[in-house]
Amino acid sequence: EDQVTQSPEALRLQEGESSSLNCSYTVSGLRGLFWYRQDPGKGPEFLFTLYSAGEEKEKERLKATLTKKESFLHITAPKPEDSATYLCAVRRTGYSTLTFGKGTMLLVSP
């Protein structure tokens, strides 16, 4: 059974204070690891897909990295508009669906 564990559950940062979110996973044959952002009352919004250990992807202040057991979402000099819940999900080879973690709720204060 695929498992995705995200930590911490919640994180409060000051504006400009960089940090990282963690996503540990267990999957039999990784087809892709996905990061999503979810704002209150809205559906998840796609950020990145990582496919293999060592891969990195960046978007504005966000950088996602992948190892064989976990992924990190690094947030550099965050702004209040980065406040959201960040979701991690895995897709197993041969499957069309995603298994999600419970998310990390990020609050960035001015």
Site for another protein contains 103 (CB under 8 A) = yes
| Token duo for residue 109 | 């204060």
Site for another protein contains 99 (CB under 8 A) = yes
Site for another protein contains 100 (CB under 8 A) = yes
Site for another protein contains 97 (CB under 8 A) = yes
User: Which of 43, 24, 46 minimizes the C-alpha distance to 35?
Assistant: 46
DSSP for 30-69, please give it.
EEEEEEEEE-TTS--EEEEEE-STT-EEEETTEEEEE-SS
Beta carbon of residue 37, minimum distance to another protein (angstroms, whole number): 11
Site for another protein contains 49 (CB under 8 A) = yes
Which residue carries 């819940």 as its tokens?
Answer: 85
Q: What is the footprint of another protein within residues 56-95 (CB under 8 A)?
A: 87, 89, 91
State whether residue 81 is helix, strand or coil.
helix
Residues that bind another protein (CB under 8 A): 31-32, 34, 36, 41-47, 49, 51, 87, 89, 91, 96-103
